[in-house]
Amino acid sequence: MERTGFEPFGEQLVSATDAQPKSRASKLLLRVGTGLFWSLVTGIVLARAAFFEPGVYDGFSRVASLAKSLIF
């Protein structure tokens, strides 16, 4: 058992060469999946920015101030 091949808890480490996809199809699938993920992230962020309403939480501040006035 080599010391460099295992982490402190006994799990075997995977080298960087083993983690890379071997076939052309898996490389293509990896790129397509990564592109799809980042396009979804971008779409969600842009949609949140487009439909953001700053006054959504004003109702909560009114309820909190009413509760504060009732308690104190």
16-57: pLDDT as tens digits: 555 555 788 888 999 999 999 999 999 999 998 888 777 766
Question: What pTM value is reported for the model?
Answer: 0.49
Which pLDDT score, from 0 to 100, does residue 49 have?
Answer: 84
The answer to whether the CB of 43 falls within 8 A of the CB of 36 is no
pLDDT at 4: 62
**Are the CB atoms for 23 and 17 separated by under 8 Å?**
no
Chain-centroid distance, C-alpha 14: 24
Higher pLDDT, 58 or 16: 58
* pLDDT of 1: 46
Please check the confidence at residue 59 and state whether its pLDDT lies above 70. yes
